[in-house]
Structure 1
Amino acid sequence: MILRFSTAYPFKTRFSQILCAYCHEEYDTLALLRYHMKTEHLNSDFKNVFYRTKDNLVKVDITDLACKICNEEIPDIDALMSHFCHKHGKSVKFNARFGVLPYKQTVDSNFLCVYCQRVFLDFVNFKRHIGVHFMNFSCDKCGTTFLSAHALRDHHRQVKCFRTAYKPRNGRIMKPRGNAEIILQYTTACPFRTWKNNFNCVFCRVQFSDPTSLRDHMATRHANYDVQTAFYKKLGKEFLKIDITDLQCKLCFMPIVDFDGLTYHLKNDHHQPLNTDAQLGVLPFRLNDGSIWKCTMCPNEFKDFVSLKMHTSQHFQNYVCDTCGEGFITESAMIAHTKIPHENKYSCSRCIATFSSLDERNIHVKTQHTSMPYMCNYCKEKPRFANWELRKKHLMEVHNYKTGADKYECSTCQKSFKTRSGKYNHMARTHRMKKDTELNYPCPSCPKAFTTKLFLDKHIAKKHYDV
């Protein structure tokens, strides 16, 4: 369809040489090839183009791309296929690859990648680069990606990739960042940074107080950004934050409702090489207009973005320190954490005291460096009091606190408990007060139960490390 109804000119290559796909005549530049095509092969048979290509993609020159039906100029292949479908009623399979590798030259005869907007001075370097955007076939054993199924079959036939010392020579290993690059490349997910209560552009660091202004800025100033530049230097090995408020697929323009649907759609409908065994490398947020802070992974809502950010990171903390139970998003972060001795590694910023845990340091700061050391843990505002009697009075008047053995009373059934955690677990189990969640992860060594496996692992690491 592309060759028949557009001015995309097919060609082949032999090392750094450019060959006509019909007669195999050699040319030094694509400009000479285009002139040859216009004069010699306007009505040529396409069989020569696909001869011995197997399942490889056909290289096409789209420098002067236009529709032959209506003569409208088209910027790239994706826009061309949408044009065929909507303007001329052609049957386009958007859930399959379009079968071509697009080469485009600028006015200065440089080569422009239409997918990441990078410019290359010579043909050889661009030829090596363009295949990166079409590595859609991945090895199940080692994760190496390839341009075609034929190359993947050769890899299975020739390479012993099950060996631990194996290092891939062709393609690349798909890690969390590779997954994140695919998500940014083929969806309208908006990357961003945060500084205090502001949302920052990852490219020019312009600050916005509301998410809507950030999305408008990205749409007008960075519509065709280079995916590589979204991973700014200070990000390190952490995950990139993305806004999925108006999430759509760039390949077929289908709206995507949730984050799980995004990965399923890209992998199954468009055969993108997302490695589901690795993490996706992004922290998804649905920022909306900034009035509602709701988690994209569960039904919980929060009063501000800072609380939402802390909660969202817990969904991706798949690595837990066996010593202190602290959770981490990436394995490298946990390894860096374990290299630091756990004895007295937390220091007070106001004095020379050191502590073995964050809880000990927090207690020290609250009791030694404040004139209001007593805090109410039940109020959202966390008010403080100068002495224990004032806090006790507050607890009795506001939170039904009682003196004696049973100090914590359930406001629903008036049952009393000795500890606050006992009352909390009672409310979660009996009255389902914890929003849309249940304590599905019981501890095998004690009666406690938890809402997530991460919290259970932290509890075991802290309380039952000797089991």
Structure 2
Amino acid sequence: MDNVNNLMEHLSQEHSIKIHFDVPYGVFPYKEISNGEWLCVYCDKIFSEFLLLNRHIVDHFKNFTCDKCGSSFVTENTLRNHNRVVKCFKTNYKARESSVSNSRNNAHIILKCSTAYPFRIWQKNFSCIFCRVQSIDPNGLRHHMNTRHANYDITKAFYKRLGNDFIKIDITNLQCKLCLEIIPDLECLVDHLREAHQQPLSSDGQHGVLPFFLKEGIHYKCAICPNEFADFDSLSKHTLVHFQNFVCDTCGEGFITESSLLAHTKIPHENKFKCNRCVAAFATAEERSAHFKANHPINLYTCTHCKDKPRFPSWNTRRHHLIEVHNYVPGSGSYECTTCQKSFKSRSAKYNHMERTHRVKKDPEVKYTCGQCPKTFATKHTLETHIAKKHYDV
């Protein structure tokens, strides 16, 4: 028998065995061919390892689908476990499986027909996908790929943890493997493969890759726009801006894949942006920023000699203010007590003197009393910090 379907039909017709054709057969069929390779009997794809076929064959047995998020499962029991554990907030959400598969197929063709090298980032090093060799220099990674993985198995480039995310590729010194023509960038490569070599690159999905010009590893230039960056982390964050294919309707945050957007929508958006100076919380980062500018001035340095307590953005600007307005004299013994005119060599010595000697004589304007407990504070900032930590439930 070539496959399980033929076997079941033979048993039913020739041996009158009752077969329930309206339900799955309950088995996973595997077929080993010559040279230790494995064949998928449903789509005729060939895999070099059993593990790769084992991951692939499940795609043909996704019989049960979640109505809310579109995730598919082999058995009804796994679907029930999904519904019990995962809370799908976006009702009737349907994932575009065709778009995902088209993107992966496009990435497969790009890697097969060009000198674009896939890579990963591990602890700020450039890592080989196939053998985990790491190099801080991109030139070292390219030399490793040319000498050790010149004819690598394309399917192994899509490692398990990649999921539906796009794979990172180095397009430095990009060439077409079919005609050895030098290609300047990824878009030109895609057009070249379609027009010159009639490669079946789908226009319905994305390219499925994140392109990077690594070059010498000193200055990193974006492969899509003219921007340049001093390190790869900055370039990587910037590159994602060009691939925000799916945008959250609630907060406006963009994502590369639809599955990333779906995972994001499962997190409630209500007031998730909290102020670190008080107990206020907001739905968007813009609202939090406006609140911070209006209620928490960034000028942290205060002049305690003036009655209106002016604030300054830096210690130096307050120092100039003290020199010009309060006759502050830089040098030893320059920190003068405004109550008894006694001088001190450091600000901490003057502060300790004020606390010990003139505590009861302080101007009441400098005191900030907590409305929930008897504690008082010298500045409004310390009072707000106290309320946020001790009385957050008020």
Larger radius of gyration: 2
Structure (1 or 2) with the greater helix fraction: 2
